[in-house]
Amino acid sequence: MDVAIFSSTRYERQYLDEANKAEQHKLHYFDVLLEMDTVGLAAGFGAVCIFVNDRADAQVLDALRKGGTGLLALRCTGFNNVDLKAAARLGLKVVRVVTYSPNSVAEHAVALLLAINRKVHRAYNRTRDSNFSLDGLTGFDLCGKTVAVVGTGKIGCVFAKIMLGFGCKVIGFDPYPSAEFKALGLDYAKPGEIAEMADIISLHCPLTPATYHIINSETLERAKPGAILINTSRGGLIDTEAVIEALKSGKLGGLGIDVYEQEADLFFRDLSSDIISDDVFQRLVSFPNVIVTGHQAYLTREALTTICETTLKSITAFEKNEPLQNEVKDE
């Protein structure tokens, strides 16, 4: 089957080509985002493959269907960028990668936490300039601290296990309690308790209307002074303006994010020679206790292999008119 792959990168193509040896599709790579200005590139392709920042709203989906596309394959877990109602109306099938490597994202969240707490990023820059002063680099022991895991799916549970290994007290928050999380001997907090109890908050939930700006001025007001916030899930979970105010006041002791609400205009590109016009982002990265990575939490060999294999197998199943195990439907 002819497949148009949007937002493709050099490192990703290597894994897609390797996975495609077993599936034998005709892969056509486009390094641009899928949106109305680029949807014409997908004309004539039976399947279109997209990533987290591609835009699959009703208008784009309508254009895809008119161009002959029957399958939209997301090579990611989240599907908040797809209008599922429009897809159902148009008879356009949508599949995703239900799980790839929860370890990759959970471990990156831990890396952000350790770097923020122990000021690794600042120490790295100092020692490169032969500055070995320790002033301002004091952190705290993770052992004994309370860690709140918001979203206790596969990734949240892996993160919880790692935090238990550090000797932390772990609590969860999720409207759909996980048997795996409970099996670890862990309890869930009630709404409103998380911010008050946690020294560290790590977000591992999907972006839905219910979770949009789940971290806002109200929740931050209740937070323990000096708490650290980690987000490796979706940028829209955080009200960035509110977080900036909490950082300025010292309410938040640190922020580590791999996602950003307006990341579609920034991430996955080299803008080192450009002027970034996003003033909110520029304010955010100006804080010494903030680390931003460019949506790389998933970026391990194991995760990339699973993502590519799962995506191409779903396309094969669609081509053969077989059941789509990873189909996403409008609820």
Question: Which residues does the annotation mark as catalytic?
Answer: 234, 263, 295
H helix intervals, the chain: 10-23, 58-66, 84-90, 102-117, 120-128, 154-165, 179-183, 193-197, 217-222, 240-249, 279-285, 301-319
Give the burial class of 253: count Cβ atoms within 10 A of its Cβ; 0-12 exposed, 13-18 middle, 19 or more buried. buried
Between CA 162 and CA 103 the distance in angstroms is: 10
State both tokens at 133.
């002063």
Q: Which residues of 196-227 are buried (b: 16+ CB within 10 A; e: fewer)?
A: ebbbbbbbbbebeeebebbbeeebbeebbeeb
Between CA 100 and CA 308 the distance in angstroms is: 9
